[in-house]
Structure 1
Amino acid sequence: MVLTVLSALAEPTRLAAMRILDDGGEHCVCDLMRRLDATQSRMSRHMQILKQAGLVSDRRDAQWVRYRLRPDLPPHVRALVTAALVDEVGV
């Protein structure tokens, strides 16, 4: 599972999406598309990979899907996510 998580977080668009979701809220794929300048198909593909890695959960809302970080991430996975989300500026 650790390798799957690291692989999912290694892609810049997915990492950026995780930074957005790290605010604890639920975000519509349309919001992620706008903020990350991505097409719907590209964003959906990235979010599916994050979901398969067990990092996010989703909820259908009419025509859109809303994503959020899974609140029940195991501590070691949460530690990986936290480390990956550290801003690299000033490092």
Structure 2
Amino acid sequence: MQPLDLFKCLSDETRLTLVALIYREGELCVCELTHALALSQPKVSRHLAQLRHCGLLGDRREGQWVYYGLEASLPGWVKTILEAAAGEQGTRLAAPLARLAAMGNRPERHLAMC
């Protein structure tokens, strides 16, 4: 991954917020992200697809759910930038993180949201 490609991928506010949330939480499914950001499923899925195409995110399937996490093979310099970006997003992430916390634990989230 080249620096220009990384910054192009993160230049959109929604994509930056998605990556910051996933960085903080480890992995999240689409339904968790739509609930946390109060955005439509198609919009979130489109941005997740772009982030996967950029090489920032990987996914894994568990039943009918697909979980997104940071791509394991990201270079250290990318992880450092994502850590800094997630830290700087602290106040912006407060409301989405509160909505995630209100969902309860992951099995309850599936029943309630997905």
Report the structure, 1 or 2, having the larger helix content: 2
TM-score range, shorter chain: 0.7 to 0.9
Is the contact between residue 20 and residue 82 of structure 2 (CA under 8 Å) also seen in structure 1?
no
**Structure 2: which 5+ residue stretches go unaligned?**
91-114
Within a 5 Å distance, the mapping from 1:34-49 to structure 2 comes to: 34-49=35-50
Amino acid at match of 2:20: R
Match of 2:17 in 1: 16
Is the contact between residue 23 and residue 70 of structure 2 (CA under 8 Å) also seen in structure 1?
yes
TM-score computed with the length of structure 1 as normaliser: 0.82
Deviation at 1:48, TM superposition (A): 0.7
Partner Cα separation in structure 1 for residue 89 and residue 8 of structure 2: 18
Q: How many residues align?
A: 89
RMSD: 1.9
Deviation at 1:24, TM superposition (A): 5.0
Instruction: Pick the structure with greater CA Rg.
Output: 2
**Structure 1: which 5+ residue stretches go unaligned?**
none
Percent identical residues: 36
TM-score computed with the length of structure 2 as normaliser: 0.67
